Amino acid sequence: MQDENTVFIGKKETMNYVMAVVTQFNSGSDEIEIKARGRAISKAVDVAEITRNRFVKQAEITDIITETEEIEQEDGQTVNVSSIEIKMALTGEEE
Amino acid sequence: MQDENTVFIGKKETMNYVMAVVTQFNSGSDEIEIKARGRAISKAVDVAEITRNRFVKQAEITDIITETEEIEQEDGQTVNVSSIEIKMALTGEEE
């Protein structure tokens, strides 16, 4: 999957990311990926759920993967942070 | 799956829930389920990741499902809340 099909969830309002995902689908992507770390994971799930329930009814969640990432901090220490990847794809069927 | 194998994520510290999951596995469950709603979803992912990386290395995540639940509030209005179910099972192999 190309990076341009990936939406990274950060500190903006949920609907900003929903619109980013909807725009990806409307511009011809069959498959998109939503990625988030730490507390943004809940928002990533909201983005996927709102997208498929309200805006792109032919889209469904095809895979969800979680991982633990080691992030290096400014002081050189590493902390473990959970991350999530939610894959969504068009099914061709409206639900 | 029986309810006794389900750990519901709430407002306590993450490690409380990790210990609940570890205890389930140690008391003979082959399969457990972690459930959370709303902002607790991020914590649910942390609980699964910490359990499999640090405490029960034979456990892996076998399925993750997200849904949208309608919750009725005291004033009778309903709000939509995302939820997650993370299924974990023992594989027999330490990773």
CB pairs under 8 A between A and B: 50
What one-character DSSP code corresponds to residue B10? -
Please list, residue by residue across B63-84, b when 16 or more beta carbons sit within 10 angstroms of its beta carbon and e when fewer do. Answer: ebebebeeeeeeeeeeeebbbb
Q: Is the minimum CB–CB distance between B78 and chain A shorter than 8 Å?
A: no
Separation of alpha carbons A37 and A66, rounded Å: 10
Confirm or reject CATH 3.30.110.20 for domain A3-90, answering yes or no: yes
| Mean pLDDT calculated for residue range B22-50 | 97
Q: Residue A45: which of B48, B49, B66 has the nearest Cβ? A: B66
pLDDT at residue A3 tops 70: no
User: Sheet containing B78-90: which strands, arranged edge to edge?
Assistant: B6-8, B31-37, B78-90, B59-72
Is residue B68 within 8 A of residue B81, CB to CB? The reply is yes
Residue A95: its pLDDT value, please? 58
Q: Which two tokens stand for residue A2?
A: 């190309």
Query: Do the interacting molecules here have an ipTM over 0.85?
Result: yes
Nearest CA in chain B to A69: B49
| Mean pLDDT calculated for residue range A46-59 | 96
Is residue B15 within 8 A of residue B59, CB to CB? The reply is no
Q: Is the minimum CB–CB distance between A54 and chain B shorter than 8 Å?
A: no
Nearest CA in chain A to B37: A42
Residue B4: its pLDDT value, please? 75
Separation of alpha carbons A17 and A60, rounded Å: 16
Separation of alpha carbons A61 and A9, rounded Å: 16
| Mean pLDDT calculated for residue range B5-28 | 96
Residue A37: its pLDDT value, please? 97
Residues B63-79 have pLDDT tens digits of: 999 999 999 989 999 99
Q: Of A59, A21, A27, which is closest to residue A43 (Cα–Cα)? A: A21
